[in-house]
Amino acid sequence: MELLPFLDLLSTLVFALVGARIAADKGLDYGGIAFIAAIASVSGGTLRNLFLGLKPVWITDYWIVVSVLAAVIITLVFRRVTRIGKTLLVMDTFGLAIATISGAHLALEQSTTWLTAVLLGVITAVTGGLLRDVLCQVEPVLLHRETIGTSSLMGAIVFVSLHQLEVTLNIAAIIGALVVIATRIISIYFDLHLPKFDGKKGNS
pLDDT in tens, 175-189: 999 999 999 999 888
pLDDT in tens, 34-59: 999 999 999 999 999 999 999 998 99
Domain ranges of the chain: 3-194
For residues 32 and 48, what is the distance between their CA atoms, to the nearest angstrom? 24
pLDDT tier for residue 114 given thresholds of 50, 70 and 90: very high
**Direct distance between the N- and C-terminal alpha carbons of the chain, in angstroms, rounded to an integer:** 61
pLDDT tier for residue 73 given thresholds of 50, 70 and 90: very high
Buried b / exposed e across 44-53, counting CB within 10 Å, b at 16+? Answer: bbbbbbebbe
